[in-house]
Amino acid sequence: MSEVFIGKQPVLDVHMNVYAYELQFYQGLNPSKNTVEATVELIKRTQEEIGFQSIVGKHVAMLHLPKVLINIKSLPDFDDNHPLILEIPNDVIQDVAVLRSLKELKSEGAHIALENYVDDDSSLKLVTISDYVKISIDNYTELKLKKMLETLHQKGIKVIADKVETEEMFLYLKKLGFDYFQGYFFTNPVIINGQKLSGNKLTLLQLLAKINDPATDFHQLSNIIGQDVSLSHKLLLAINNPATMIPVKVENVADALRYMGLKRLKFWVNMLMLSGMEDVPQELLTTSLMRAKFCELMAESAGHVHDKDSYFLVGLFSNLGAFFKMPISEIVNEMPLSEEIASALIDRKGSMGEVLKVLVAMEQANVAEIHLHYEKLGISEIGNNFMAANAWAQQAISS
């Protein structure tokens, strides 16, 4: 059986809010005739164990399937309240069966996104049935991009810039007139060398350091939270959310510890503090939570159960550079982290650093790295942990 995994990438709008998530099925370096069979099995297993809607949460799903599976019977299950976007390649113009299926799916409410629009005869024909097109921005000059945008917008087509890797590139493409942007550019912000943290951000970083210091006990944590009325209020609101399944109403931090434990309480405080930062897209928090859970699941799967809390923290903090718009090394130096955690965050070294390397390859859907592994874990286990972590992060945010 060929090994197949699901890649997931966010599609953001001009305000850096998530519009959709692309789910694409990737196959190994040496695909076989069993690849489609493996994809069908993966869809079935993911549907039963995780659920596709839980992976994308409240957002639109942009689905990139093998051509032979573009039909009503083969599609994964999604909530009817959220439109489904089917991503198609240029060469479907030659496949009558696929075109017939697309017509049927459109009549059922699905939308179509044309992958890798290249402004040729095939693309122009497929544009007539498409609602979106994706353009690989590396392939064209600024003048050509402007002309294509003008033509497509006149036809009422929304245009997605593909392979956007930095915030600087996002700002440039936004100015050109693209409607949506795909990639993890929000984790690579514009960093001004020598920039100093503002008073508010410096205070926040100092609080994060104190909260996550292993020496910080409950009484110290309680004092830290108690000094911030807004944080205390948000924490109690979050803890009393029905999704936390705490049997009583929690009215103070002492009760929170009794029912949640110190580790879980620290997680909620971290999440609330990071979510309250200004000029930070929510997807950055979602991605950080996903990374934290992925690293924790990888630790459990690889037999590092006793270190899973450290793995979780490495994942959660791996995006701190994007939150504070400073090099991660400068931020880590301000925090009382162990040498192993600091080395993983700054240099991607050690067992936890290796997990971050695997994670980045999964996020970027780097097909050249599909043979990647982590210790005894292969792409199948890694891919399952990646999807499970994505579903968990969506649930945590919605809670």
Global pTM value: 0.90
Query: C-alpha distances in angstroms, 352 versus 140, 148, 244, 247, 305?
Result: 39, 44, 28, 36, 13
pLDDT tens readout for residues 283-302: 999 999 999 999 999 999 99
Residue 86: strand pairing partners: 63, 112
Helix (H) / strand (E) element for 220: namely helix 218-226
Contact 111, 84 (CB under 8 A): yes
Question: Is residue 164 scored above 60 in pLDDT?
Answer: yes
Question: Is residue 357 scored above 70 in pLDDT?
Answer: yes
CATH architecture of the domain with residue range 4-187: Alpha-Beta Barrel (3.20)
Question: Is residue 28 scored above 60 in pLDDT?
Answer: no
Residue 374: strand pairing partners: 377
φ, ψ (nearest 5 deg) of residue 175: -65, -35
Sorting pLDDT into bands at 50, 70 and 90, what band is 20? very high
Angstrom distance (rounded) from CA 378 to CA 15 = 37
User: What average pLDDT score do residues 56-85 get?
Assistant: 91
Contact 288, 396 (CB under 8 A): no
What is the DSSP secondary-structure string of 262-288?
HHHHHHHHHHHHHHT-TT--HHHHHHH
Q: From 323, 304, 312, 310, select the one nearest 396 (Cα to Cα).
A: 312
Cα dihedral value 317, 322, 325, 329, nearest 10: 40
Q: How far does Cα 226 stand from its chain's mean position? A: 33
Query: C-alpha distances in angstroms, 371 versus 65, 226, 354?
Result: 20, 49, 15
Sequence ranges of the domains in the chain: 4-187, 199-398
pLDDT tens readout for residues 85-117: 999 998 899 899 999 999 999 999 999 999 989
The CATH number of domain 199-398, selected from 1.10.730.10, 1.20.1440.230, 3.30.1180.20, 1.10.3210.10: 1.10.3210.10
